[in-house]
Amino acid sequence: MADMKRVILSLLLLAGWNEAALSSPPPPPQRIVSLAPALTETLFSIGLGDRIAGVTNDCDRPKEARRKPKIGGMANPSLEAIVSLKPDMVVMTNDGNPKVISDRLARLGIKTYIFKSRRLAEIPDGIREMGQALGAGPASEHLAGNIETALHDIALLPDGNNASEAVLGGGRKTLFVLWTSPLIVAGPGTIVDDAMKIAGLSNIASDAGVAYPRFSVETVIERQPDLILIGKMSDDMKTASKGFLASVNGLKAVKKGRICFMGDALYRPGPRIPEGMKELIRCGKMP
């Protein structure tokens, strides 16, 4: 009888162990490949830098990212280079990475996490979700909370009024240039457009049908921006912008010197977003 009890107890313990094993979450990814600079910055910020197996040629922050193996550009990553790194997770974005890469990775049985936050207000939750997927929930929650607090403080003055109306007078017509040849600008439904609204700037491309429309010089001249912001898409945007600025030198914005060369923080949806917002507001206050 005692032997029978021991057998039953062993079976129950074994059943319990099996149930626990089956319900245990999978181990977090140990070899992560990042296909976007903002995601790489976020991975380092939430303490996953040691698990990054590869990054794009565009991933230049923090400086440790530059020493990681490269898999090509953000818009044209090499599938072969990604696979050769034997990742157990590839993090990518639906706002810059080609969908065909995620489809081909799926067919190869390689897991992907796709960061989908495309608006300013969506970034903190996007970071939380990515952190959970990578086994870094507490760190991602901390980072997301810090960004929310910073954005809230930036957007609101102590009296609760929108910073833009009170500080800038509101409504200054603004062009945000992402690239000059062809001329690509920030349109509606983008982080830049959201930030411009908070800063009290009127985006002259807000009625475009796509997020990043091509503009002609004629359209820019017709819409008469009061301020031209030029984002950093290469190391020397001042040189890259000479031709464009010469073609619109009759605009009041150019004559008055209201040309502001910005960094890349504003359109990298990661830990430096508050820095980008502050930069935009500083540029918006140009006399």
pLDDT in tens, 145-191: 999 999 988 876 444 344 444 444 458 999 999 999 899 999 999 99
Distance CA 15, CA 138 (A): 32
Distance CA 172, CA 253 (A): 11
What pTM, to 2 d.p., does this model score?
Answer: 0.84
Q: What's residue 165's pLDDT?
A: 45
Residue pair 183/244 in contact (Cβ under 8 Å)? The answer is: yes
Whether the pLDDT of residue 9 is over 60: the answer is no
206-212 mean pLDDT: 94
77-103 mean pLDDT: 96
Query: Distance between terminal CA atoms of the chain?
Result: 93
Q: What's residue 259's pLDDT?
A: 96
DSSP, res 124: H
Q: What's residue 227's pLDDT?
A: 97
Residue pair 71/85 in contact (Cβ under 8 Å)? The answer is: yes
Token pair recorded at residue 248: 């619109």
Q: What's residue 95's pLDDT?
A: 86
Instruction: Give the CA angle between residues 183, 185, 186 to the nearest 5°.
Output: 170
Helix and strand numbers (H, E) in the chain are 13, 9
pLDDT tens column, 189-208: 999 999 999 899 999 999 99
Q: What's residue 267's pLDDT?
A: 86
Whether the pLDDT of residue 18 is over 50: the answer is yes
Q: What is the mean pLDDT of the chain?
A: 89
Token pair recorded at residue 240: 């890259």
Distance CA 185, CA 220 (A): 10
